[in-house]
A and B are shown apart, each in its own frame.
Chain A
Amino acid sequence: MPRSPRIARILLRLLLPAGVRDGFVGDLEERFQREAVDDPVRARRSYWKDVLSPSILRLRKEVRGMPLPPGTPPGSTRGDGRMTALLADLTFALRMLAKAPAFTIVAVLSLALGIGPNTAIFSLVDAALLQDWGVPEPEEIVDVYSLTDDGQYFYTYYRVYELITEGANDAFVDVAASAQQTGNIDVGGEGRLAMGELVTGNYFDVLGVQAAQGRTFLPEEDATPGTHPVVVVSDRYWKTRLGADPDVVGSDLRLNGRPYTVIGVAPEEFRGRIAPGLGTDFWAPIRMYPHLAPNQMTNGNLFFMGRLRNGVTTERARAILDAIAARYNEESESRSELAIGAVNLGEVRLHPNFDGTIGAMAALLFVAVGLVLLVACVNLASFLLARATDRRKEMAIRVAMGAGRGAILRQLLVEALVLAALGGLVGLVLGMLASRVLVGVEPPIDLPLDLDVGLNGRILLFTGGASLLAALIFGLTPALEATRAPVASTLRDESGSSGGRRKGRARGVLVAAQMALSTVLLFGAALFLRSLQAATSLEVGFDTGPAAVVAVDPWASEMSADEQEIFARDLIRRVASMPGVEQLGVTSRMPLDLGTINTTFLIPGVEPPPNADRHVLEYASISPGYLATMGIEVVEGRAFVDTDDEPESAARVALLSRAAAERFWPGESAVGRVMHRGGDPERAVTVVGVVGDARIWSLTEAPRPYMYLPLSQGGFGRYFLVARTPMAPPELAADIQVEAKQLRPDVLVSEVGTMDDHLGYIYFLPRMAAAMLTLVGILALILACIGLYGMVSYTVARRTREVGIRMALGAEGGVVVGMVVKRGLTVVAIGGLLGIAAAFVLGSTLDRFLIGVAGLDPVAMLLAPLTLFGLSAIAAYLPARRVSRVDPVEALRAE
């Protein structure tokens, strides 16, 4: 026998009262069985049509209060009670809300503005921190780094890998190594930088990741240097750059100018081991390093991941690794000691170095948006409190008719829940839109950001939870308050004064709380705006004015060292004579950029630091025109001249930053001193000048010892052209790219931009933080002002009679308005003061996020309450104005 649709039957059971349920359902069933003989699908459809027809609701109404027909078996009302009552509460709540559309819209929007930011931030955090690595049993994987003195996790050496594979068999089933390496992949004649990992042949096996198409690496593909040009590409790269070509496996792509065969595509959920939000584009065998990483020390660029043996803990593995570090230090002749840092992958979100900071930032944002939600909740609590006062008579009648306290509480909570659900729904939409926008603001660095902010179960759960919590916060107090109404007196005298005053005070407290929360958030916003302002006006030691900045990467094409040099000199000469180029500087490394290049020295007469064999200095190779172009001043001696860059005089001269000169020869002149590069007296360089300090890594660093060498010292593999111009810098940058491509079509030009673009990355975080907190602060302020506006309007409405008497006795309209505004602003002042007090406590914890201002910045402390006070005065004045229009006669007659 065919079955009628189950869900439809359940729906009917919920909708229909016991009196007609059996007869009705039976009738439908009978018809269904008859129709199903011919066409079951049509029968189901017509069954559903009958169940969803509005006539069911009319039937429900018709039946209410009807006696049961004779012959109804006892107990057939089972299941009626609670469910039906809840359903009744729900319909009633919806009807109440529909009856007061203005209230409903304001309430739902307030809530949505509170919940939306929470959803947005959560979906970002979810995308960046809560996605997993796509690795089965991540808690069995241990990542191995070297640990610096200040507790940072860093890459380590190939020799350590050898020692681990020999000596850590007790701890690991197998250990794989990976080195991060960008490469130039040419698709359709256009080269572009791609993020890659050079990996050992067992990498995918150790991680337990299988190719979605094709295969992963074979052991022999990683056995001999430079012999197996094969790659595995990521799912995302395959879809976005390779057009999801179904025949991709077995095809060739040009990587750094040479054909590599694609042997597989990684599964969608595995995005490599760089970071979950920073996808790897391709994987290549590590033994291809002679081609893929010729200038890099792949030896010291590795990190390892091992899969633990059954029953081995991370602690145990750590002990074994420490023993290996000891063996390494024993055989090494260096004075510097290696320490190994091992982290369980199950505990890594992004990277052990950043998880703490990023977690703290996420927490800060959550606190901020959580406060906004709280302000929104308080708003609603205050609205509902006012409504409760208006509905006192309704409640009193219900109680008089025999409704229990529980029933009334339930009714009010259901109303709150309906509001919360509506607010949550609108908030979810707002939040998802906002997070799309936020992710669209890509950081201005060329990284394959891979954040998936699509809707998922976690986000739904979070938003649902936030809405539920909100409903409880804003619904409970007014609901409890409402059930306390004394029945008799309420029914006798509608304008009962004592309860009204108590509620008035409760609203005052709520509005003050909102004001306090808003002050805290405005203070936060002011702080981060000040921080941004400080960051952008900070002296960085070079001219940040308009310029074109173009990065050229000959290393990523098939070019010999000689070809690279010829190409570079050709290009520089041509660009220098391009129309619109006033000044041209070339450098192997821009200040305030990611990455680092350093070299080691022995300096006659100056001891290396303890625990080190040599001095280490970061450096940039620069053209003679670079310092002038960048506005870096020469403090002593001279800058480079053209002859310094000629091959026969190369490596003879160097410039030091003031901090470097100060470190090696404090109080003395550095000019004329000699340093031995790599400790080799044959490679001696003479310091010919001392130049000003430029910020190298970050805006806030102390002046960093730095060195400049002539461009011929390793500057031809990757360099930046910086050109000052009266033209628009982006146009000039594009022209330079064209010039480079004309000279050599296969050269990779990886960045075509401006000085502003280049600095964008360093200002990205301060800008984002300031923008987000300002937005959050403004939201809170708007919500709080809505709350204040509501409170004052309500006071005005309740005090019409009092105002009427005052006016009848001769009070001026202005005086009465002032009286009402004053009361409102008193509440604001109390809230503001509390907020400042809280800001004092919180401010100092924000220091770590700020640049150039202290957490207890007095300007921010002043700005926040002033903004609050200014806007609240308007929010209080607008409704208060109405008081002066009260007609005394009308007001008194109304009673």
Chain B
Amino acid sequence: MAPKRPSDFEQQVLLAVWRLEDGAYGASVRDELEARTGSRVTQGAVYTTLIRLEKKAMLQSRLSDPTPVRGGRAKRLFSITERGRAGVLQVRRAMNRLWEGLPTADPAPRESG
């Protein structure tokens, strides 16, 4: 069964985790999202989506060692799974097909790296 297509915000979160590779956890994902999309999101929204995606097996998580700047608390590190990658790619392909032949007045932000 093909995975259910991720929603807009889920796609954003999946992409942010993918980009961050090994360093994806709540705070860094939030920073990445805010930096790239230019709009503010709440920690709760980010975390809820992370947990939901983990339940959908598009992400997986593990606990890191505690760090002092976090008041001695561990980070919950997330990484994207095969299924997660397939999900965003599938959406992208569909979107690309839809955009074919249309003017790109507002080009998508450039990917770096």
Residues of A bordering B, CB below 8 Å? 20, 22-31, 33, 49-50, 53-56, 58-59, 62-63, 66, 69-72
B72 → chain A closest CB, angstroms: 9
Closest to B51 in A: A62
**Which 6 A-B pairs have CB atoms at the shortest separation, nearest pair first?**
A55-B44, A23-B76, A26-B73, A27-B26, A71-B63, A26-B70
Report B44-69 residues with CB < 8 Å from chain A CB. 44-45, 47-48, 51-52, 55, 61-63, 67, 69
What is the 8 Å Cβ interface bit string for chain B, positions 1-42, against chain A (1 contact, 0 not)? Answer: 000000000000000000000000111001100000000001
B39 → chain A closest CB, angstroms: 15
Q: Which residues of the other chain, B, contact A25 by a CB distance below 8 angstroms?
A: 71, 73
- The answer to whether A50 and B44 have CB atoms under 8 Å apart is yes
A58: contacting residue among B25, B30, B48, B73, CB under 8 A: B48
A33 to B69 CA separation, bound complex (whole angstroms):
7
- The answer to whether B48 and A69 have CB atoms under 8 Å apart is no
Q: Which residues of the other chain, A, contact B86 by a CB distance below 8 angstroms?
A: none
A27 to B76 CA separation, bound complex (whole angstroms):
9
Closest to B64 in A: A71
A27 and B55 contact, Cβ closer than 8 Å, known pairs A50-B43, A55-B48, A59-B48:
no
A23 and B48 contact, Cβ closer than 8 Å, known pairs A33-B69, A50-B42, A71-B63:
no
Residues of B bordering A, CB below 8 Å? 25-27, 30-31, 42-45, 47-48, 51-52, 55, 61-63, 67, 69-71, 73-76
B73 → chain A closest CB, angstroms: 3
A23 and B30 contact, Cβ closer than 8 Å, known pairs A50-B43, A53-B42, A66-B55:
no
A191 → chain B closest CB, angstroms: 68
Q: Which residues of the other chain, B, contact A59 by a CB distance below 8 angstroms?
A: 44, 47-48, 51
Q: Which residues of the other chain, B, contact A31 by a CB distance below 8 angstroms?
A: 27, 30-31, 43
A55: contacting residue among B45, B69, B73, CB under 8 A: B45
A70 to B25 CA separation, bound complex (whole angstroms):
15
- The answer to whether B74 and A71 have CB atoms under 8 Å apart is yes
A71 and B75 contact, Cβ closer than 8 Å, known pairs A23-B25, A24-B43, A55-B45:
no
A63 to B76 CA separation, bound complex (whole angstroms):
14
A393 → chain B closest CB, angstroms: 32
A28 and B43 contact, Cβ closer than 8 Å, known pairs A23-B63, A70-B63, A71-B63:
yes
Known contacts A23-B75, A53-B44, A58-B48; 6 additional CB pairs below 8 A are A20-B47, A23-B25, A23-B47, A29-B69, A31-B43, A71-B62
A70 to B43 CA separation, bound complex (whole angstroms):
22
B49 → chain A closest CB, angstroms: 9
A9 to B62 CA separation, bound complex (whole angstroms):
23
Q: Which residues of the other chain, A, contact B43 by a CB distance below 8 angstroms?
A: 24, 27-28, 31, 50, 53, 55
- The answer to whether A26 and B74 have CB atoms under 8 Å apart is yes
A50 to B40 CA separation, bound complex (whole angstroms):
11
Q: Which residues of the other chain, A, contact B55 by a CB distance below 8 angstroms?
A: 62, 66
B7 → chain A closest CB, angstroms: 14
A27 to B24 CA separation, bound complex (whole angstroms):
11
A29: contacting residue among B42, B48, B71, CB under 8 A: B71
Q: List 29 A-B contacts (CB under 8 A).
A: A20-B47, A20-B76, A23-B47, A23-B63, A23-B73, A23-B75, A23-B76, A26-B67, A26-B71, A26-B73, A26-B74, A26-B75, A27-B25, A27-B27, A27-B30, A28-B43, A29-B69, A31-B30, A31-B31, A31-B43, A50-B42, A53-B43, A58-B48, A59-B48, A62-B48, A66-B55, A69-B76, A70-B63, A71-B74
Which of B26, B42, B44, B75 lies at the interface centre, i.e. has the most chain A CB atoms within 10 A of its CB?
B44
Q: Which residues of the other chain, A, contact B31 by a CB distance below 8 angstroms?
A: 31
B13 → chain A closest CB, angstroms: 13
Q: Which residues of the other chain, B, contact A33 by a CB distance below 8 angstroms?
A: 69
A55 to B44 CA separation, bound complex (whole angstroms):
5
Q: Which residues of the other chain, B, contact A54 by a CB distance below 8 angstroms?
A: 44
A72 → chain B closest CB, angstroms: 6
Q: Which residues of the other chain, A, contact B44 by a CB distance below 8 angstroms?
A: 50, 53-56, 58-59
B65 → chain A closest CB, angstroms: 9
- The answer to whether A20 and B51 have CB atoms under 8 Å apart is yes
A49 to B44 CA separation, bound complex (whole angstroms):
10
Closest to A49 in B: B42
Closest to A68 in B: B63
- The answer to whether B42 and A23 have CB atoms under 8 Å apart is no
A26 to B30 CA separation, bound complex (whole angstroms):
13
A30 and B27 contact, Cβ closer than 8 Å, known pairs A23-B74, A71-B74:
yes
Closest to B71 in A: A29
